[in-house]
Amino acid sequence: MSVTSYGVNDALAVKAWSKKLAHEASKATPIAPLIGTGDNSIIRKKTELSKSAGDKVTVGLRRQLSQAGGVTENQLLEGNEESLTTFSDALVINEIAHAVRVKNNGTIDTQRVPFNLRNEGKGALADWYADRMSLMAFTQLCGYTAPTITFEGETFSLNSTHWGFNLPSAPSANRKLFVNGSTDEANTSAHVMTLTMIDYAVELAKTANPKIRPIRVGGEKKYVMYLHPYQVKSLRTNTSTGQWLDIQKAAMAGGQVTKNPIYSGALGEYNGVILRESEHVTPGVHSSTGEVVATVRRAILLGGDAAMFGVGQEGRETSYKLVEKTFDYDRELGIAAKNVMGMKKCVYDGEDFGVVTISSYAAAGA
CATH code assigned at 220: 3.30.1930
Model confidence, pTM: 0.85
Element (H, E) at 358: strand 355-361
Per-range mean pLDDT, top range of 4-13, 49-58, 324-333: 324-333
Task: Give the span between the Cα atoms of 353 and 358, in whole angstroms.
Answer: 15
Give tens-digit pLDDT for 305-336: 999 998 887 654 456 778 888 899 888 989 89
Give tens-digit pLDDT for 178-206: 988 777 886 778 889 999 999 999 999 99
Considering only CA atoms, give the Rg of the chain.
24
Residues 6 or more apart whose CB falls under 8 angstroms from that of 151 comprise 131, 135, 280
Residue 336 in domain: no
Residue 174 in domain: yes
Query: % helix / strand / coil in the chain, to the nearest 5?
Result: 25, 30, 45
Residue 140 in domain: no
Residue 231 in domain: yes
Cα→Cα distances 251→236, 261, 267, 289, 364, Å: 18, 17, 12, 43, 30
Contact criterion met (CB below 8 Å) for 141 and 307: yes
Residue 188 in domain: yes
Contact criterion met (CB below 8 Å) for 168 and 146: no
Q: How many CB atoms lie within 10 A of CB 299?
A: 24
Cα→Cα distances 180→175, 196, 273, 285, 359, Å: 16, 10, 21, 18, 11
Residue 158 Ramachandran class (φ > 0 left, ψ -120 to 50 alpha, else beta): beta
Contact criterion met (CB below 8 Å) for 332 and 326: yes
Is pLDDT at 25 greater than 60 in this prediction? Answer: no
Contact criterion met (CB below 8 Å) for 353 and 62: no
Residue 59 in domain: no
Residue 41 in domain: no
Task: Give the span between the Cα atoms of 243 and 246, in whole angstroms.
Answer: 6
Region 162-191: mean pLDDT is 88
Region 29-47: mean pLDDT is 85
Give tens-digit pLDDT for 118-152: 888 888 888 888 889 999 999 999 999 999 998 87
Considering its fold, how many domains does the chain have in total?
1
Is pLDDT at 252 greater than 50 in this prediction? Answer: no
Q: Please provide residue 173's backbone torsions phi and psi, each rounded to the nearest 5 degrees.
A: -55, -35
Residue 202 in domain: yes
Q: Where are the beta strands (DSSP E) in 47-103?
A: 56-62, 86-92, 94-103
Exposure of 52 by Cβ count < 10 A (0-12 exposed, 13-18 middle, 19+ buried)?
exposed
Task: Give the span between the Cα atoms of 345 and 306, in whole angstroms.
Answer: 6
**Whole domain around residue 250: which residue ranges?**
170-307+347-361
